[in-house]
Structures are given as C-alpha cells and as structure tokens.
Amino acid sequence: MIKIAVLASGRGSNMAAIMEAIERGDIDGEIKIVLSDKENAGALEKATAKGIENHWVNPKSFADRDSYEQELLRLIGECDLICLAGYMKILGEGFIANAPCPIMNIHPALLPAFPGLHGQRQAVEYGVKIAGCTVHFVDTGLDSGPIILQAAVNVLDDDTEETLAARILLEEHKIYPQAVKEFARGELIVDGRIVKRRSFQ
C-alpha cells in the first residue's frame, strides 16, 4: 500500500476523486496528509471529514520559499507519492530535489499546449477544437514533466472558459485516479521523458 501526500490550494475535487478510488479499492494506497497554502481550501475540509491529517501552512509565516517548502517536506515525512491537486504555487527546485518520492500533477490542458495558469481559458481564446487534461510527473519546469495520461474533450462553438472547464474536470476525475492506480501497482516506468507501462506477463 502506498502512502500519498496531497498538496492543494482549492476545492479539492481531484483529491476527492483519488479518495473515492482508494475507498473503492481501485488504488492500493492511503492519503496520509493533506497540506494547503490556503486557509479556506475545500481540500482541508474534505480531509477533515475523512479523518485525514491536514494542515494549512501559511506561506506568509516563513521568511522565504525555501523555508516554507522545508516545512512542507518535514510534515510530509516519508511517503511514496506526492500529488499536486490544484496546488497553485510553483514548487522550488529545493522541494523537488529533496522530495522523498515522485511528484504528480494534474493540468487542465493537453500539454505541452497551454501550460501555466488558466489552461482552459487559453484553449478557448486560442480557438483549438480539442482540449483536455494531462497527468504528469513534476520536474523543475512549468508543467513540463513526463506525461502519464491525457484525456481529450471537444471544444464546442459556444464554449466559455467555465463550460469547457466543467467538461475537462470530469475527465480529470477519471485520469488522475487512474494514474495514481498505475503508479501504486508499479506499472509506470519513466525512461527520460517517456512514461511506459510495465507488462506483467
């Protein structure tokens, strides 16, 4: 069983999808801790409701990003996977280098298109006809790490950022738990920036 730490800044619906997959028995794992940079993050409430250790770690209480991130790592302790689930701060190189395990992220665009903030808005404004979401391992770049899974949705003529985001979110809730499940089963092999599946024969 893998131990998962979650970093989240907002409502935490992706985290909830991972929790449900654990409860269904799809993911052989447990969420050991949830940390947020936002005091009112829904993710913290959801963790409390499930009896999971959670903390608001206020970035303003620390002198700089390094000391903030050191505190995050201290709280995380030993774990097998760190899931970013709507965590809106960019992780520093120190965090990534010192993390005890791989870090995964979900991004609401088909990377490498539209990294950074507001992936769905970028897709609508650019006029692409297919948008979607990506689960990837985190490296020191912006949404640039090895891609684990992607899902596509059609962009409709009357889509707004909000309507597109809502349809993409449904796909996020499928592929993030799926990626964590594959990781927990030891199926993922990272070869450079290519993620492959181990075949168990």
The residues of the shown chain that bind ligand GRF, judged by CB under 6 A, are: 8, 10-14, 85-86, 106-108, 133, 169, 172
**DSSP-derived secondary structure letter, 30:** E
Gap between the Cα atoms of 87 and 43, Å rounded: 10
Closest CB 8 distance from ligand GRF, rounded Å: 6
Residue of this chain nearest to ligand GRF (CB atom): 86
Which candidate in 55, 107, 136, 173 is catalytic? 107
Gap between the Cα atoms of 191 and 91, Å rounded: 23
Pairing outcome for strands 194-197 and 54-56 = unpaired
Nearer to ligand GRF by Cβ, of 110 and 188: the residue is 110
Closest CB 129 distance from ligand GRF, rounded Å: 20
Gap between the Cα atoms of 24 and 97, Å rounded: 33
Active site residue 173: no
Which residues have C-beta within 8 Å of that of residue 189, sequence separation ≥ 6? 195, 196, 197, 198
Nearer to ligand GRF by Cβ, of 77 and 112: the residue is 112
Nearer to ligand GRF by Cβ, of 99 and 173: the residue is 173
Closest CB 12 distance from ligand GRF, rounded Å: 5
Residue 60, exposed/middle/buried by CB under 10 A (0-12, 13-18, 19+)?
A: exposed
Gap between the Cα atoms of 151 and 171, Å rounded: 6
Closest CB 178 distance from ligand GRF, rounded Å: 14
Nearer to ligand GRF by Cβ, of 8 and 76: the residue is 8
Active site residues per annotation: 107
